[in-house]
């Protein structure tokens, strides 16, 4: 039994098919990358798994349980946490309060939520900015706050939507190290959408490729970069030849 099973998922927005019969499995402890051109259906697929969209057809199983059509608060309780491509943080709240929002999904006690949030922020090196508001922070710190809030929900499966977007090389390398640490030390399974190919290839154990809503490839990173369909749809000859 796979940790996450996505079976023949179709998501049709009134004639626009964003996901077309997509199937794959993720094993516990893996880091899996999801790549593809803009409009390939990557974020839609994430939204179907997490429960922002109900799939038109197909099934999603998490730890053997059918979670198809669950709402986001239900998938969060099951152990799925996610970050967003566009930061879903509350600008009126401090960094600490933003992370506590995630912790409140597991407790209704303020002191417990604050303790949980502080522990995660210490782990991520965010304690020094706990009283700052989000809009006062550079993008790299904002991304980390989004990650902290997702971690505060205590996920077993962490789904990251372009968590390195807008980061420079040094910040991206730091994020790669952080994800590897979460995977190894916290036993966290990670599923990530990412456009920065160096990050995907260095952190992922496997890579899934979507194009126009269809899964066109799946395999080890070094296989994916040589796959003619992936080169044509997304990577381009120049990238493939340089790797």
Cα(214)–Cα(211) distance, integer angstroms:
5
**Separation between Cα atoms, residue 198 and residue 164, nearest integer Å:** 11
Q: Read off the pLDDT of each residue in 69-91 and give the average, rounded to a whole number.
A: 81
Q: What angle do CA 174, 159, 190 make, to 5 degrees?
A: 65
Q: Tell me: the pLDDT tens digits for 167-222?
A: 888 989 999 999 999 999 889 999 999 888 888 989 999 999 999 999 999 999 99
Parallel, antiparallel or unpaired: strands 80-82 and 157-161: parallel
Residue 165: pLDDT band with limits 50, 70, 90: confident
Question: 165-201 b/e with 16+ CB inside 10 Å = b?
Answer: eebeeebbebbbebbeebbeeeebbbbbbbbbbebbb
Partners of residue 181 on adjacent β-strands: none
Give per-residue pLDDT as tens, 34-75: 999 999 999 999 999 999 999 999 999 999 999 999 999 999
Those residues whose C-beta lies under 8 Å from the C-beta of residue 185, and which sit 6 or more positions away, are none
What band does 164 get if pLDDT is binned at 50, 70 and 90? Answer: confident
Where along the chain do its domains lie? 1-79+155-243, 85-154
What pTM, to 2 d.p., does this model score? Answer: 0.91
Q: Which CATH architecture has domain 1-79+155-243?
A: 3-Layer(aba) Sandwich (3.40)
Asked if residue 237 has pLDDT above 80, the reply is no
Q: Which of 2-16, 141-155, 160-174 has the highest mean pLDDT?
A: 2-16
Residue 131, pLDDT score: 94
pLDDT at 241: 59
User: What is residue 167's predicted lDDT score, i.e. its pLDDT?
Assistant: 85
- Answer yes or no: are the C-beta atoms of 2 and 25 closer than 8 Å: yes
High-pLDDT (> 70) share of the chain, %: 94
Q: Using 50, 70 and 90 to split pLDDT, how confident is the model at 238?
A: low
């Amino acid at each position: 039994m796979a940790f996450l099973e996505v079976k023949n998922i179709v998501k049709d927005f009134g004639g626009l098919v964003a996901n077309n019969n997509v199937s794959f499995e993720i094993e516990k402890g893996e880091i899996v990358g999801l790549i593809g051109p803009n409009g390939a259906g990557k974020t839609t697929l994430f939204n179907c798994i997490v429960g922002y969209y109900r799939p038109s057809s197909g099934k999603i199983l998490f730890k053997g349980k059918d979670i198809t059509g669950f709402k986001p608060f239900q998938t969060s309780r099951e152990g799925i946490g996610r970050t967003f491509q566009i930061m879903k943080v509350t600008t009126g709240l401090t960094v600490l309060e933003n992370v506590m929002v995630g912790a409140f999904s597991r407790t209704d006690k303020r002191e417990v939520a604050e303790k949980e949030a502080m522990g995660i922020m210490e782990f991520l090196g965010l304690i020094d900015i706990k009283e700052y508001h989000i809009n006062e922070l550079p993008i790299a710190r904002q991304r980390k706050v989004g990650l902290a809030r997702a971690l505060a929900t205590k996920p077993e499966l962490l789904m990251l939507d372009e968590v390195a977007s807008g980061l420079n090389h040094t910040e991206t390398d730091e994020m790669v190290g952080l994800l590897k640490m979460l995977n190894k030390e916290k036993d966290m399974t990670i599923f990530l959408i990412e456009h920065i190919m160096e990050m995907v290839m260095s952190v992922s154990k496997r890579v899934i490729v979507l194009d126009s809503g269809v899964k066109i490839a799946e395999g080890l990173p070094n296989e994916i970069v040589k796959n003619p369909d992936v080169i044509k749809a997304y990577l381009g000859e120049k990238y493939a030849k340089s790797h």
